[in-house]
Structures are given as C-alpha cells and as structure tokens.
Amino acid sequence: MTLYSNIQPDVAEKANRHRVTVEVLSSTPLDLKKMQVKVLDDLKRMDIFCKNVNVLYQDAQTIPQGFPVLSHEFVATGKYQYELAKKSFKNVSLHGKNNTRDWFMKEVFKSVHDDFG
C-alpha cells in the first residue's frame, strides 16, 4: 500500500484529496469488482480511511507477471540507478528490489542487518 498523502502532504492538503494505491497479490484470478469492495472495506477497518469516506475514483488492473514487470530493461535500469546512487552519495543505502540484489523480504532484512547490524 502506498499512501501518497504521507509522501506529498502539501498536495493532499491543497486538493483536500488523499490518494492511495494497494497491490493485491493472488495465485488465482480475482473478481476485480469484489476485490475493490474488499480492499476499501479493509482500509476502513484499519482506520486508514474513515467509515464515510467519499471515493472519487478507483480502478483495478491485473498484471499477470507481477509488478514491477521484471524485464531485462527494468533490471538493467535498476542496476544503473543503483550504481549511480552509490557512486554519487556516500551516505545512501538501498534495500529491496531497487538494489538488484534482494528480492524477497528475508533477503531484504538480511541485507539491512548486514549493512547496519
């Protein structure tokens, strides 16, 4: 889940609108309409949204190979960006899919531990 109001609070405040994206992972095909209802209900139950939230727009899409799509171009771009960041800044540490080493959370946690532990 990404709560854009946390990233861009000034934009949310000016527009009085709060954007959120939610990624749902499933090993079986989903009924997108039912899934949207379920996700909205979950967001309300978690107090991310108030019970009487006014949803202005919602959409759902299926990305069969997952997100991000791991094309050769995506991996090469990620590696380039990682190397550029490491070369450009001495005080940056990248963990997760953007470092081109770690993919699963177990690997990310180990990488963070090894760098900072």
Domain boundaries, the chain: 1-63, 72-116
Model pLDDT for residues 32-90, shown as the tens digit of each residue: 999 999 999 999 999 999 999 999 999 998 887 776 777 888 888 888 988 898 899 98
Among the listed residues 29, 38, 20, the one whose alpha carbon sits nearest the alpha carbon of residue 61: 29
Is the model's pTM score more than 0.85?
Answer: no
Model pLDDT for residues 75-99, shown as the tens digit of each residue: 888 889 888 988 999 888 887 766 6
Residues 24, 39 contacting (CB under 8 angstroms): yes
